[in-house]
Amino acid sequence: MDYQELLEQIEADIAPLIGSGTPAEYIPALASVEPRQFGMAIADLDGKVHGVGDWRTAFSAQSITKVFALALALAEGGDSLWERVGREPSGNPFNSLVQLEYENGIPRNPFINAGALVVTDRLQTLTGDASSELLKFLQEESGNPDVAFDAEVATSEQENGDRNAALAHFMASYGNLDNPVPALLDHYFWQCSIELTCADLALAARFLARHGLRADGSRLLTRSEAKQVNAVMLTCGTYDAAGEFAYRVGLPGKSGVGGGIVAVVPGLCTLAVWSPGLDAQGNSVAGVAALDRFTTLTGLSVF
Ligand code: DON
């Protein structure tokens, strides 16, 4: 398949949507990003990357980091993680508090904020420095030492972090966190602030297309764990729009409020797309449309 030609076709098809939607407004450092940007990259299993548009412009990874944190926590600590966090779609916004009380402080899945806080807590216990471990992993898998924390975004998150603090304290009251809440929030906010390009993101996610194998050929996850992470991405990776995303795109995918989305075609390639305008559920409007176009034009999906 000629990936370059395909990407150019997709870019032309979705051009009218670039700039639609609204960049995340609840984090001031994200609200000021120029919305009329769009980039898309495809990495094959051997690490060859193709891209179009702003595919080499760095953006805020935000919740996309939740996939990598989950993979590292599973790799380091195994299955016991699932005693603390579920694997069902929430059907609620990513920062919702409501389910937590009647489900006794056990978040529905690792990709809503409450679940991601549990995963980061676990990773902190397992490694002693959750956010740095995550950054190191992304740098290694992308082969790009410039993948970095963005201090302005992390500070902005911290200053607007009451909702995440509430989620964390609430779970702590149920005994579902090991680490002190302020330290955990710190790691979570720095984790969310990581900035990378579509090229970096597509490369870094390749272990999910390679059934658990890292860029250097070593094993991060078992084949079965890689399947499990992909499955949770498909069912929970785009919050209360996961059903619509599966319907339109038909691939495991994870979005972030920075406007990025990563998607996986197991055994073939990874896709990364970025455009800052978000829909009401927090997913990139042009990004979802581009992935929809990809699976429609190629017939590639997990279905
Ligand atoms: O926790 C937050 O509010 C953000 N730092 C991350 C949220 C996010 O990307 C959710 N995504 N769609």
CATH of the domain at 56: 3.40.710.10
Does 26 score more than 90 pLDDT?
Answer: no
Model confidence at 240, pLDDT cuts 50, 70, 90, reads: confident
Residue of 18, 7, 10 whose CA lies nearest to 43: 7
135 found inside a domain: yes
Domains in the chain, number: 1
* CB of 257 sitting under 6 A from ligand 1: yes
Contact 72, 230 (CB under 8 A): no
Give the mutation target among 97, 113, 153 for probing the ligand 1 site: most ligand atoms within 8 A of CB: 113
pLDDT in tens, 80-95: 999 999 999 988 887 8
pLDDT in tens, 95-113: 888 889 889 999 999 999 9
Does 179 score more than 90 pLDDT?
Answer: yes
What is the pLDDT of the chain when averaged over all its residues?
96
**Cα–Cα distance measured from residue 208 to residue 204, given in angstroms and rounded to the nearest whole number:** 9
303 found inside a domain: no
**Cα–Cα distance measured from residue 253 to residue 230, given in angstroms and rounded to the nearest whole number:** 8
Contact 39, 293 (CB under 8 A): no
List alpha helices for 160-197, DSSP H.
162-173, 181-193
* CB of 164 sitting under 6 A from ligand 1: yes
* CB of 156 sitting under 6 A from ligand 1: no
> Which sequence positions are flagged as catalytic?
63, 66, 188, 239, 257
* CB of 157 sitting under 6 A from ligand 1: yes
40 found inside a domain: yes
| Domain encompassing residue 282 | 3-298
- Residue 96 pLDDT: 86
76 found inside a domain: yes
39 found inside a domain: yes
Q: Which atom of ligand 1 is nearest to the CA of 255?
A: 12
pLDDT in tens, 148-178: 999 999 999 999 999 999 999 999 999 999 9
186 found inside a domain: yes
Does 212 score more than 90 pLDDT?
Answer: yes
**81-120 b/e (C-beta count within 10 Å ≥ 16 → b):** beebbbeebbeeebbbeebbeeeebbbbbbbbbbbbbbbb
- Residue 303 pLDDT: 94
Contact 207, 71 (CB under 8 A): yes
**Cα–Cα distance measured from residue 27 to residue 242, given in angstroms and rounded to the nearest whole number:** 23
Tell me the pTM: 0.97
Q: Which atom of ligand 1 is nearest to the CA of 282?
A: 12
- Residue 58 pLDDT: 98
Report CA dihedral (157, 161, 164, 168) to the nearest 10 degrees.
Answer: 110
* CB of 110 sitting under 6 A from ligand 1: no
141 found inside a domain: yes
